[in-house]
Amino acid sequence: MDAAEFRRRGREMVDFVADYLENIEQRPVYPDLEPGYLRSLIPTEAPLEPENYEDIIKDVERVIMPGVTHWHSPYFFAYFPAASSYPAMLADMLCGAIGCIGFSWAASPACTELETVMLDWLGKMLQLPEHFIAGTHGHGGGVIQGTASEATLMSLLAARCKAIRRVHASIPENSEADILSKLVAYTSEQAHSSVERAALIGGVMMRKVPTDNSYAVRGDMLKKIVEEDKAAGLIPFYFCATLGTTPSCAFDHITELGPLCNEENMWMHIDAAYAGSAFICPEFRPLLNGVEFADSFNFNPHKWLLVNFDCSSIAKNNPFKHNLTVTVLLLCPSSVLQHWQIPLGRRFRSLKMWFVFRLYGLKGLQAHIRKQVDLAKEFESLVRADKRFEICAEVIMGLVCFRLKGSNELNQNLLKRITESREIHLVPCQLSGRFVLRFAICARSTESRHIQQAWRHITQLTFELLQEPNH
């Protein structure tokens, strides 16, 4: 394919993309097929000779689309949102064309530099403390990671390195292996599985901290478990706080937890993967109070800030940079950015932020967050007005946790009917041992009419379910 054909096929693809997104509402949001469906639809080997472009595009509808869970359907209410916007898609096209691998400054200076400034823009939007901002002389600053999982892992590795050095400096006869075997990290019992996974990869123990009846960790809960572990000879070194947990969007009390971590020489990382984007609105910013005690902070603009996946941002204050740089500098002296991430290569992902921030403006981004929170409140009101249902966690952002009053089995049956209907898509969670339905406002295109329609659909299925003899 030469440039001339790309011009033609590119225009067609732009239309294909626009058509797909404009008409996505007509597609069943969740696929109706069995695992393994695709293999029999395509050859078992790559073709020897080139094929026609038309055949490939036909196969997109024949092979791919039937197996897609349509995350950008206005009837998709599962997981958390995956951001998508036209400006981000345009920037990604440019990113593909430039096609640089930004593993060092020299490998493409604009790639490193725009990223640094975009992370500063983000930090300022969130009103992060000055020491998280790179500026011209700062020691803080951020980088784009692929996912929050990677950001958590990087923070844990940095904390591990810092702790080993600190303990080794004070008790030199302790070997690194001895110290490593005594290190213990903490996170909420409500935290995402990727936090526990980071500890597994880093080869350190991790203990789960119980939460209060809002599913949030409080200072005294962490304090108690840290005291026990210290008494048992362990070395507490890391706490991963969550702002906006995956099951119920709960917020750990970082104003209590932060000072405790600082006092105990424990690294505090904040994982605000979903909720972090909302802190650009002044009315939500108080939930981030306490960030000044943190060593690192991460959230995903690719979830809720209209920047297409993958784009997770991590900001660190001085100690982070200092420590991780020192650790890995021996291996890769050419750059700093690469010490803040697992992969060495990196796409020019900051272009997406640049396009999105400029084409929406801060006000446009705030409007997007507020609209989705309002839609969640609208759904919450519908649920609360129906006495058969209950709300299971405070609705603070775009997530509503709800269930039918009654058994877990009843709610499992309801979700099964919802999933099989393929009109809307939800996933469940467990809260205090109860099976709960999560209704997350996800697509940029979701409007009030979709919320109303979703609720009509849920109540219709509920009606049918409750009419069955065994209920």
Concatenated DSSP letters of 7-30: HHHHHHHHHHHHHHHHTGGGS-SS
Nearest to 214 by CA among 255, 259, 247, 261: 247
Match 């640089």 to its residue by tokens.
100
Query: In the complex, what is the shortest distance from the CB of residue 132 to a second copy, in angstroms, rounded to a whole number?
Result: 15
Match 């200072």 to its residue by tokens.
219
Residue 340's identity, in one-letter code, is W
Contact 296, 267 (CB under 8 A): yes
Radius of gyration of the chain (CA): 24
> Could you tell me how many residues make up the chain?
471
Query: In the complex, what is the shortest distance from the CB of residue 422 to a second copy, in angstroms, rounded to a whole number?
Result: 13
Residues contacting 471, CB < 8 A, separation 6+: 410, 465
| Token output for 344 | 């060495």
Residues contacting 293, CB < 8 A, separation 6+: 254, 257, 258, 259, 261, 262, 268
Residue 41 or 466: the one with the smaller Cβ distance to a second copy is 41
Query: In the complex, what is the shortest distance from the CB of residue 86 to a second copy, in angstroms, rounded to a whole number?
Result: 4
Q: Where does 99-188 have alpha helices with state H?
A: 109-125, 148-170, 176-182
Query: In the complex, what is the shortest distance from the CB of residue 81 to a second copy, in angstroms, rounded to a whole number?
Result: 10
Residue 102 or 290: the one with the smaller Cβ distance to a second copy is 102
Residue 97 or 231: the one with the smaller Cβ distance to a second copy is 97
Residue 260 or 328: the one with the smaller Cβ distance to a second copy is 328
CA distance 93 to 104: 22
Residue 6 or 463: the one with the smaller Cβ distance to a second copy is 6
- Cis peptide leading into 252, omega within 30 of 0? no
* Sign of CA pseudo-dihedral 338, 304, 254, 206: negative
Query: In the complex, what is the shortest distance from the CB of residue 349 to a second copy, in angstroms, rounded to a whole number?
Result: 10
Residue 22 or 189: the one with the smaller Cβ distance to a second copy is 22
Query: In the complex, what is the shortest distance from the CB of residue 393 to a second copy, in angstroms, rounded to a whole number?
Result: 22
Match 């939930």 to its residue by tokens.
287
Query: In the complex, what is the shortest distance from the CB of residue 434 to a second copy, in angstroms, rounded to a whole number?
Result: 20
Helix (H) or strand (E) holding 256: helix 254-263
Residue 253 or 339: the one with the smaller Cβ distance to a second copy is 339
CA distance 405 to 384: 12
Residue 44 or 213: the one with the smaller Cβ distance to a second copy is 44
| Token output for 428 | 């469940």
Residue 97 or 385: the one with the smaller Cβ distance to a second copy is 97
Residues contacting 374, CB < 8 A, separation 6+: none
CA distance 465 to 443: 28
Nearest to 157 by CA among 354, 373, 314, 377: 314
CA distance 460 to 171: 67
Query: In the complex, what is the shortest distance from the CB of residue 191 to a second copy, in angstroms, rounded to a whole number?
Result: 11
| Token output for 270 | 């904040």
Residue 297 or 309: the one with the smaller Cβ distance to a second copy is 309
Query: In the complex, what is the shortest distance from the CB of residue 340 to a second copy, in angstroms, rounded to a whole number?
Result: 13
Query: In the complex, what is the shortest distance from the CB of residue 112 to a second copy, in angstroms, rounded to a whole number?
Result: 9
Query: In the complex, what is the shortest distance from the CB of residue 418 to a second copy, in angstroms, rounded to a whole number?
Result: 14
Residue 158 or 383: the one with the smaller Cβ distance to a second copy is 158
* Sign of CA pseudo-dihedral 459, 455, 308, 70: positive
Residue 67 or 210: the one with the smaller Cβ distance to a second copy is 67
Residues contacting 316, CB < 8 A, separation 6+: 132, 140, 141, 142, 155, 158, 295, 296, 297, 340
Query: In the complex, what is the shortest distance from the CB of residue 381 to a second copy, in angstroms, rounded to a whole number?
Result: 29
